[in-house]
Structure 1
Amino acid sequence: MEAASTACDGCEKDEKVESFCVNCEQLYCPECTAYHMKCKATRSHVLLDASHLDTDITHASTDVQCGNECGEQAVVLCLDCKQLLCDNCTQKHARLKATKEHYAITAKQLARDETASLTSFGAYSERTSIVSRPKELVHAQVQVEKGPHSGMFAHEFMSSAPGDKEVTRVRGIVILSDGRIIVADYKNRSLKLYSSELKFEMAKDIKEDPRGMAASANDFVVVTIADKKEIKIYKVEHNKIRTHKTIKVKEKPYSIGYNKDHFAVEHGEGEDGTIRIYDQNIREMCVIPGNTRHFGQFTGNTIRLALDYTKQVIFVVDIVKESVHCVDFKGGLIWTVKVGSPRGIVFHNNILFVASSTENKIIQMNAVDGLVYSMLDEDNRIKRPRYIAYNPDLRKLAVEIDGNHIKLYNIIKCDK
């Protein structure tokens, strides 16, 4: 048996993977692994060996916890799910029809070569160089206990559905005006519709991998399809999701954010990466070049977006540098705040909700200056959150937990 050959999440080349980053939840080829280990923003990340063939769990050599909510030590890395599993969860994983054929190996810490030189990576090092940010714009979290909102756990449901051939891999969530929820499933290439009572209603087969999703006015849902270089608009009517419009774009679209009839969309990779602002008909209004690298590395996997169209700014979750950046439409950096392993982000009325995966929190941030307030944590059943969605009219927040659970919270505006 040979080592797994799959697309590297860093350069997206079909290479034999060498490592799995626990912080980024990404698989990397040898070249991207070497850069990840030397880059200042990521050299403290936990890397596991993804290149070996060992399946004996007694050889596990990591103290990382299981990717599910059991709290046990991980002994296996599933390369198909990109998920760490404990002994009990591994046994369940091997029995499930959707995952029994997955390629799983023993979870082992990656041996680090501290003598390797970043300059030895040649053109790759230049291509992914990070321009330093003005120090006065970068600050650590200033956490205040009581913020403008608080949250209360309401419900929970599984994002799996009848007919799934793979374990769900969420790429976006939206909450519709009537309380129904749509989950974009990357692995099963579908949009799943759940009732306001959180019962599965139907799945729309979209035949391609969804990479990002946002809700717009009147229950239209916008989905990015990177491989086809398309942005698709869907309309939800009764218990059906129908295709309303398909728009071809110049570069692959990934993350997407919506605000006031406009969209911010991440496009392309590397030096060609941009963030483009569109109107509700996906007509291009503005292009923000990403080649300065002030606000993230464009890989298609390491950026999440929110938009404040009124103030002409975007908010960028930078997974690699573990930061949230506020950037104007000219590409100018307004502020940066460090956040532990940030993932999902939503914006409403000068407040950002941000998922912090390693800290097991949903924090709220003042969109003007980046001031951080606490909101939800492990006491509220938050565990490794990723994608989130918020409906301000219903005051409902949906949070993806470990890939196959969606938890719903009632959001309460606090008295001043």
Structure 2
Amino acid sequence: MGCTQSKVVDATAGGQTLQAKAKQTKQTQQKNGKTTAPEITEPAKPKATYANYQSSHDAKLQQESACSLRGVTFMQNRDLVAADYKNNKLKLYSSKFEFLADIELQSAPWDVCQAADNADDILATVPYKKEVHRLTVNKVNNHIRLVPVSEFRTNGFCWGITCFDSGIAVCVKVSVSEKTWPKPPEFQVHIHEFDGTFRRAIMFDANSTPYFIEPKYLNVTYDDLFLLISDYKQNNVMCMNNEDELIFSYIGMKSPNGIAMDENKNLHIASFFGTQRVHKVGPNGKYIDGLPHDEDRPLFPHGICYRKKDRIIVMTTDQSLEVYKLV
């Protein structure tokens, strides 16, 4: 999502049609000047099994009574970092999902992402501190540690985070005074420089209607051109260009959580509701396939990430890392 670029043109076929449909979808959600959640019509039974279960890895450490994983990301070296909301920790795992190290923060982290400006760094949101933390993976004498580097304040409680070629995007809930007029929406997406300098806020569509009800996770498309936002309470996953224009909305999933994208520009969206716990959505915002809910292995995923080398998706549940391989 190169914010230093000029106008971004939709790379998919029929881009103008998609934008028109996205605007129509948004208009149907307007009621008394407020954004409302659309009704969900769940897709039909999956066409085929598009991902096979590979393994499950317990994320609870020996000294912990329980854990609760939220955000997750792969690093460039194929290691993985997950945010443990319950234990105020970030946990580092090897490419084979072996526990390597953790670090305890002063408050609960929500989401994590690979820093785009340094392959050894990750960024994590800490909602109740209203901070984004930068940490680096440090290896000395075969001893691996997560080491704090820096932090910056956000303008409110911060949840989802992602990095693109020239900055950082963060889901933020701001405090709005009743005296403020015109009154901005509480939930916004803020764009920051890598050093934390605030650049701008994404709030309204072209009709001055708030885009969001409660966005919780972010990602960028594989080519870094478009921002992806999952809005948990709006039952909506949005794709926007760098001029804050809606390219498409996907409203086929109840309460979407994390979003991952593969090299074919397909989205993989997780939820712990419905008969399909992951939806595969094409670059045009259309449903392609789904991962059925297995009653023998109930899956309640929060975050999701994708690794190109072996075509696997990893989802976080409260207690585990769940690994599936794309067919």
TM-score normalised to the size of structure 1? 0.58
**Partner in structure 1 of residue 221 of structure 2:** 308
2:120 matched residue in structure 1: 219
Letter of the 2:313 counterpart: L
Match of 2:92 in 1: 193
Q: Comparing 237-246 with 267-276, which one deviates more in the overlay?
A: 267-276
* C-alpha RMSD of matched pairs (Å): 3.4
Correspondence for 1:131: 35
Contact 1:396–1:411, Cα closer than 8 Å, also in 2: yes
Number of the residue aligned with 2:7: none
- The residue correspondences of 1:242-391 to structure 2 (distance < 5 A) are 242-269=147-174, 271-289=185-203, 294-298=210-214, 302-308=215-221, 312-338=225-251, 339-349=253-263, 350-359=265-274, 360-367=276-283, 369-378=284-293, 381=297, 383-391=299-307
1:244–1:311 Cα change, 3 Å: closer
Aligned residue number for residue 4 of structure 1: none
Mapped to 1, the partners of 2:209 and 2:216 lie a distance apart of 12
Larger Rg: 1
Report the CA distance shift for 1:139/1:210 in structure 2 as closer, same or farther (over 3 A).
closer
- Give how far 1:353 is off: 0.9
**Greater share of helix:** 1
Contact preservation (8 Å) 1:143, 1:374: no
Cα deviation, residue 334, structure 1: 3.0
Amino acid at match of 1:159: A
CA–CA separation in structure 1 for the residues paired with 2:158 and 2:314: 24
Question: What letter corresponds to residue 326 of structure 2 in structure 1?
Answer: I
1:158 equivalent among 36, 40, 58: 58
Provide the identity percentage. 18
Q: 1:409 aligns with which of 278, 300, 324?
A: 324
Deviations 1:137-177 (A, max 9, x none): x9966669569x9323222111111332x521222112234
- Asked if 2 retains the 8 angstrom alpha-carbon contact of 1:259 and 1:308, the reply is no
Is this contact kept in 1: 2:70–2:302, CA < 8 A? no
Q: Is the 8 A contact 1:226 1:252 kept in 2?
A: yes
Distance of 1:182 and 1:409 partners within structure 2:
17
Find the aligned partners of 2:195 and 2:68 in 1 and give their Cα distance: 28
SS of residue matched to 2:106: coil
Does the 8 Å CA contact 1:214/1:222 hold for their aligned counterparts?
yes
Write out per-residue CA displacement over residues 39-88 of structure 1, whole angstroms, 9 at most, x where no aligned residue: x99xxxxxxxxxxxxxxxxxxxxxxxxxxxxxxxxxxxxxxxxxxxxxxx
Query: Normalised by the size of structure 2, how large is the TM-score?
Result: 0.72
Q: Which amino acid aligns with 2:147?
A: R
Structure 1 residue runs of 4+, over 4 Å off? 138-147, 290-294, 309-312, 379-382
Does the C-alpha gap of structure 1 residues 340 and 201 become closer, same or farther in structure 2, counting only changes over 3 Å? same
Q: How many residues align?
A: 278
Tell me which of the two structures has the higher relative contact order, counting C-alpha pairs closer than 8 angstroms and 6 or more residues apart. Answer: 2
Q: Which moved more, 1:233-242 or 1:346-355?
A: 346-355
In structure 1, the partner of 2:134 is 233
- Match status 1:180 vs 2:79: yes
Tell me which amino acid in the other structure corresponds to 2:82.
V
Unpaired stretches in structure 1, ≥5 consecutive residues: 1-39, 42-124
